[in-house]
Structure 1
Amino acid sequence: MKGLLCTLLLLETFVFVVQQQIDGGLAENEIHQQHSTEDRRQNPAQTDRRRDEASADSQQYCHLSFPDIHAALRELTATVTEQKANIRALETRLKEELNKKTDALETRLRNSEKTAEQQTVILEELNKKTDEMSNLTESQVEELRKENRDREIAFSAALMESGSGDIGPFTTEITVTYRNVFTNIGNAYNPITGIFTAPLKGAYMFSFSIYGHGSPSTPSTASIVKNGEKLVVAHAHQNQGAVNSSKGVVLILEVGDVVYVRLWSGRRIYDDQNKHNTFSGYLLFPLREQELCRM
């Protein structure tokens, strides 16, 4: 742009100088004509001769100078016009490119803002899901802890808390009460009644042992009973000395089922500080309805 302005200033200066030369030439011709008029008055013949020579020279000068000047002016005018057109075209192209770049930047800015908003929304959703997962995880952990606490079922007890002596014989069956409790996790065993009540549906392991002595010896016989039904029997007998026996069984229990040991009528067991007679049980694992159906 600065180059074009300098070119225009130079062209205007050149035109001004040329115009001054033309005006000077015309003034000189007028002065020359005045001198010629005075000379002609003084010397008519010589003056006419000089006038003819000057006229011829002036015509030759004008013939040589004016066409060249006008052609140069026309060429300069055309060049200036072309330069102005080029400047306008350049300005138009620059404006268009500037507008395009501005539009592109505005579009990118809007897209960036939309992307930032989308990222913010996604981040908020992730935080929300994380909180939900955290709450869910805590709830699940607490539920698992509760289930584990519910699954902690085990007991073991011996016949007598202290001393020694015989139990039986009786004329009818009795439920043996194991009062010396070693373990009662879950409090499912009642040492007063001698009955275990299932708090959870599942598979349970039970075992018991009996011991007797005497001479002559009385048989020692007892059985594990589930809901009034005899399941397994432990029996021991000999004419003299000590006898013992034990049994174990895995049972599928529903909530509320009861398991206990029954001493048969006419039978006797003995216990002392050595805790020969015991009754134990524990939950192997809980069961669901579908698992019970498959079994």
Structure 2
Amino acid sequence: MDKSSHHAFTVGISSGNSDWAGDTLVFPTVIYSEGTGYNPSTGIFTAPTAGTYVFYVSVQSANRKYLWLDIVLNGSSKVRATAYYSSGSSVHINQTGTNLVILHLLTGDRVWVKRYAGVGYYSNNVPSTTFSGFKLN
């Protein structure tokens, strides 16, 4: 079996940042990587080969914050994950938002996670804010 067309990754963030208000969310901790494509310095996956790919994001909100994250293809938002703290509760609650998208990519297409609204995220040494992708065979 030719493994040159197998591309899969799971990446995360190993600490929280309750004040983060950036554009692209960079996941520097590589948990699994097969093939090429994901750059842990930029947070961007660049498709090494054309095909059908699956992407998944999971984000935990920072305490008393909310965050909306989009999975983006070449600058166009495709799906959104929303995590927010319920202001009616006095208990420390980290809400989790997730979403998954199946996309047909051409060689060189770029996919990343972008902040749509909100501020801050929670994660720790075993990442709870993560991004994954893989190519279907």
TM > 0.5? yes
Name the structure 2 match of 1:261: 113
- 1:150 partner SS: helix
Is the contact made by 1:169 and 1:265 (CA closer than 8 Å) also made in structure 2? no
**1:152 and 2:6 matched:** yes
* 1: CA distance, partners of 2:105 / 2:16: 34
Q: Percent identity?
A: 32
**Greater C-alpha radius of gyration:** 1
* 2: CA distance, partners of 1:167 / 1:200: 36
Deviation at 1:271, TM superposition (A): 1.0
* 2: CA distance, partners of 1:264 / 1:272: 23
* 1: CA distance, partners of 2:106 / 2:49: 7
Bigger relative contact order, structure 1 or 2 (CA pairs below 8 A, ≥6 apart)? 2
Q: TM-score, normalised by structure 1?
A: 0.43
More helix by share: 1
**1:168 and 2:22 matched:** no
Name the structure 2 match of 1:183: 32
Which of 74, 81, 95 matches 1:243? 95
1:151 alignment partner AA: S
* 1: CA distance, partners of 2:118 / 2:68: 9
Unaligned runs of 5+ in 1: 1-144, 286-295
Deviation at 1:265, TM superposition (A): 4.2
Structure 1 segment 129-148 matched on structure 2, within 5 A: 148=2
1:168 alignment partner AA: D
Which of 192, 205, 208 matches 2:41? 192
* 1: CA distance, partners of 2:134 / 2:18: 26
- 2:32 partner SS: strand
1:244 alignment partner AA: T
* 2: CA distance, partners of 1:176 / 1:260: 8
- 1:213 partner SS: coil
1:232 alignment partner AA: V
* 2: CA distance, partners of 1:226 / 1:254: 11
More strand by share: 2
Number of residue pairs the alignment of both structures matches: 132
Q: TM-score, normalised by structure 2?
A: 0.88
Distance 1:184 1:167, change over 3 A: farther
Name the structure 2 match of 1:227: 74
2:10 alignment partner AA: S
Unaligned runs of 5+ in 2: none
